[in-house]
Structure 1
Amino acid sequence: MYKINKARYSAYLLHAHIVFVTKYRRKILGELHHEAFQQIAGEVCADFEAELRECNGDSDHVHLLVEYNPKVQLTKLVNSLKAVTSRRMRAEFNDLRGAYTKPVLWSRSYFVGSCGGAPLEVVAQYIQNQRG
């Protein structure tokens, strides 16, 4: 399904599952907010030479599946995604601006998990069986 990417001295296929939660878990995101978020997040990912593969969520959180290259520092990508989407969405939607007394949208915390490839049990078994 996915093509393995190649650089001069490496081959890679890296995906991250990222989740942002609204501040105080307030249920403030609607369909228009999710559409705007997806567009903005796609632009931020492109700036990092990454690709937003999937994006969806509910009224109080968003999920992203991002394909990235080894040069990308995930913490910098995540922080940029949170900052830029928060700033631009609050500028575009008055209801988000009025939801909080401070200029915030996302909780300070986030989830990021590596994904793709074989399950961990299969990789572990493969490594264990390497010695002849």
Structure 2
Amino acid sequence: MPQQAFKTLYHYTYSLQYHLVVVTKYRKKCLTGAMLAELREICERHLQLKEGPLLEFNGEADHLHLLLELPPKVALSMAVNSLKTVTARLMRRDHAAYLKKFYWKPALWSRSYFVASCGGAPLAVIKQYVQQQSAPH
């Protein structure tokens, strides 16, 4: 089994990976293959600014899947909201005529999203490890 890679920054060591799913508003099937390629580049650039790599990216006509890593100093909800804002603004700017067929207001993403932490040991293993610590008497 490969050893898990940890990163260090200032006074902490971490390994924080997330699976993020972002859906289009009203689940409209408005994303094209070219748009997905652009979205991947935008997400990679934006996450580099947050000091976190985009580990994997894919999507369909109505949603995106991102596997990303963020340092603990970056609040996950703020990173997701800024990522959605930046991508929506750039997609609406560059594909306004096309997106107008789907949305009469300037919109792209639903307000909601799915995120799950991933990587590392399963929760049951960590729970058992914590339970087995020897508490002082």
Cα distance, 1:83 vs structure 2: 0.5
Cα distance, 1:5 vs structure 2: 0.6
Confirm whether residue 126 of structure 1 aligns to residue 124 of structure 2.
Answer: no
In the alignment, which residue of structure 1 is the partner of 2:46? 44
* 1:43/1:89 CA distance change after superposition, 3 Å: same
Write the distance in 2 (CA, Å) between the matches of 1:32 and 1:5: 34
Cα distance, 1:3 vs structure 2: 3.0
Write the distance in 1 (CA, Å) between the matches of 2:75 and 2:100: 30
Matched residue of 1:70: which SS?
A: coil
Normalized against structure 1, the TM-score is what? 0.93
Contact 1:28 1:60 (C-alpha < 8 Å) held by counterparts = yes
Gapped regions of structure 2 (runs ≥ 5): none
- Superposed CA deviations along residues 24-80 of structure 1, whole A, max 9, x for unmatched, are 001111211110110111111111111111111111100111111111011111011
Matched residue of 1:104: which SS?
A: coil
In the alignment, which residue of structure 1 is the partner of 2:60? 58
Of all paired residues, the percent bearing the same amino acid is 46
Normalized against structure 2, the TM-score is what? 0.89
Structure 1 segments, 4+ long, off by >4 Å, are none
Aligned pairs, how many? 132
Write the distance in 2 (CA, Å) between the matches of 1:87 and 1:97: 14
Gapped regions of structure 1 (runs ≥ 5): none
| Structure whose alpha-carbon radius of gyration is higher | 2
